[in-house]
Chain A
């Protein structure tokens, strides 16, 4: 047992399960050998985490649809179960019973493998996320690198699906997806580097513990770039050119049906949960918070970020593919560089910053963020100003819109 001890103490989630299995005995005879307990506990951890993720996502789809419904002046799904809570179950059952169509001329292996590869990336992200105090699957010392690596996996699946479908809409979507993802990796990583410099570690557990002040206050630019870039990476509106239902029908998964399509959809709904988890961990102090249990704090923060993501999704129109590229390279990339240089420079001055020095850094960064936004908006504003109305607006009537509703 000795070799596992330090690991067990840090990861209480795994450790408790391990102790439970290893301690199972009848009259002092251990039922499960130590090595088997190790595997069973490990498997159970993974099982629990994947199920929590999938169930949260399922509830998340319901919440998202309800909230978007309310934003659009309607109720959203409310028929099946109390408040429509069983709608995702009904959806899943429907998808499972649907015919799995396979159009002629598809590349069979690639076509069938794509949904599996697609869901891999969003799920793997949760391997390194600390859900609460001492609760995680693994504390990788290169956690952030791991996340950056696995979030690019869906791109391959996207291209597999687009290519394998033998449909031109799918191919268009796949090409757009690859181009978009390659571009947005750069600002994404740049915005993370600022956090890494402050935390001094690549491990997500260490990053959470090193946040004396939530990094969103010290890294406003970084947060902004990260949330924009991660939205683009997940193909969420306003960056959903990959699917672009009004242009490409359904983009790379046009030809899929049944549960294969459902897998794509599930992965796309896991993605905002993953993104919100990463943002919470990197910028919002992770699971740390007063009074309430750490797991609850984590989920509260995740839902807050999730709400912002769906709010933006419900409001904004989609950008065009070249504008998305321009946004990445001409706007976010320079901002990310500025953010990185400022943070690095400030850390050169205050090598091991105290809390007050961190606040000062935050203040400086906020000023710089505002200056950057104003300057960049002046550089771009010639095209992005509204024209005056084409005819004089007739006189306003009394304020009665609220009443009438």
Chain B
């Protein structure tokens, strides 16, 4: 007797516990195996690019906070760099160091969120997530010290940062640098060798380097596929060219590599912050520029290595106080391009994990 079977289509999202926001996938299954994936997004579209056109250059900083709301600092940085390039402003050195410290703290925090939710997608009942959030809390405390907010930071300004760090910030960050490596060790002790995690993630969702390049993926997704491309090395901005750090590069390109890569990047970020704290010179933190910047007519593109990948801002100026056009190259959206290639043929459970390992943020995907 033969049974008649047929593929079943499931609407995964927009309301689903592990779509990391309001993401929707129409998935066709053969049993549990994925035959086809069709991503649908746009549920969180707020028109940030259009909104930027009617705000002054300083006001747009607050919009960038809301792109990738777990890494506001990197968004601030990318935007501010673009405006500085457009208007030809050189920020003071101390400001550049502060920006790097803030951006690297943000990278740690974002990677902690990514790792925590990755484990949550694996079904670990939120325990690793809670541990990751516990340490992220310390970073948010540092941010609160620095700029009075925890998530939507608006710390950076065109021509520097808004204000120098308070005196209590420096002992606090030294403290953070001294205990954080041990917490990372704790995660690794708990997770890296865990047989269940290994069996679930190793050799699952393999992304070939060539596919990653063709999909113009960036960030941890690209580097896990074995491509050594980090904008902090390839096109150094701020003071990254004066700092020593390694770029971790994956070997296989599977989910496990993406997890390992994030852990390694946390360690490297700690190293960068340590050097910055040692090297930071005294001086002003903000170039004296008018509140209403009027860049000359022209355009500029600036990109940073945000925790999710290459975050770029393309600004066109018509000489007025607001950008004529603001285009955001968001890494989350472009990293999603690889989704179909690495999901088809795997099971439903793998799909959730692989999707989690790409680490997207819907605020950035839909903008």
Chain A residues packing against B (C-beta within 8 Å)? 68, 71-74, 168-169, 172, 237-238, 240-241, 244-249, 313-323, 383-387, 389-394, 396-401, 403-404
Max chain B Cβ within 10 angstroms of own Cβ: one of A72, A246, A397, A399: A246
Name the distance in Å between B277's Cβ and chain A's nearest Cβ.
Answer: 13
A390 engages B119 (CB within 8 Å)? no
Chain B residues packing against A (C-beta within 8 Å)? 8, 10, 16-18, 32, 119-127, 130-131, 134, 175, 177-179, 181-183, 186, 190, 192-200, 202-203, 246-251, 256-257, 260-261, 263-264, 267-268, 270-271, 347-350, 352
In the bound complex, CA of A386 to CA of B32 (Å) = 27
Contact flag A317-B198 (CB < 8 Å), given A390-B250, A397-B181: no
Name the distance in Å between B352's Cβ and chain A's nearest Cβ.
Answer: 5
Contact flag A245-B17 (CB < 8 Å), given A237-B123, A393-B267: yes
Among candidates B121, B127, B186, residue contacting A315 with C-beta atoms closer than 8 Å:
B127
A317 engages B123 (CB within 8 Å)? yes
B8 engages A319 (CB within 8 Å)? no
In the bound complex, CA of A317 to CA of B197 (Å) = 7
In the bound complex, CA of A262 to CA of B324 (Å) = 56
User: Can you report 23 residue pairs joining A to B where beta carbons are below 8 Å apart?
Assistant: A72-B127, A72-B130, A169-B10, A247-B349, A249-B16, A317-B119, A318-B124, A318-B200, A318-B349, A319-B200, A320-B347, A321-B349, A383-B199, A384-B199, A386-B193, A387-B257, A389-B248, A389-B260, A390-B250, A391-B267, A394-B181, A397-B177, A397-B178
In the bound complex, CA of A68 to CA of B261 (Å) = 29
Please indicate the chain A residues that have their CB under 8 angstroms from the CB of B183 in the complex.
Answer: 401
Name the distance in Å between A208's Cβ and chain B's nearest Cβ.
Answer: 33
> Beyond A246-B122, A320-B349, A404-B175: 20 further Cβ-contacts under 8 Å?
A72-B131, A168-B8, A244-B349, A247-B348, A314-B127, A315-B190, A316-B194, A316-B196, A318-B349, A320-B200, A320-B347, A383-B198, A383-B202, A384-B195, A387-B260, A390-B250, A391-B248, A393-B267, A400-B182, A401-B182
Please indicate the chain A residues that have their CB under 8 angstroms from the CB of B134 in the complex.
Answer: 73
In the bound complex, CA of A387 to CA of B193 (Å) = 9
Smallest CB gap from A72: residue in B: B130
In the bound complex, CA of A317 to CA of B260 (Å) = 17
Max chain B Cβ within 10 angstroms of own Cβ: one of A314, A318, A322, A403: A318
Smallest CB gap from B182: residue in A: A401
Please indicate the chain A residues that have their CB under 8 angstroms from the CB of B248 in the complex.
Answer: 389-391
Please indicate the chain A residues that have their CB under 8 angstroms from the CB of B130 in the complex.
Answer: 72-74
A394 engages B200 (CB within 8 Å)? no
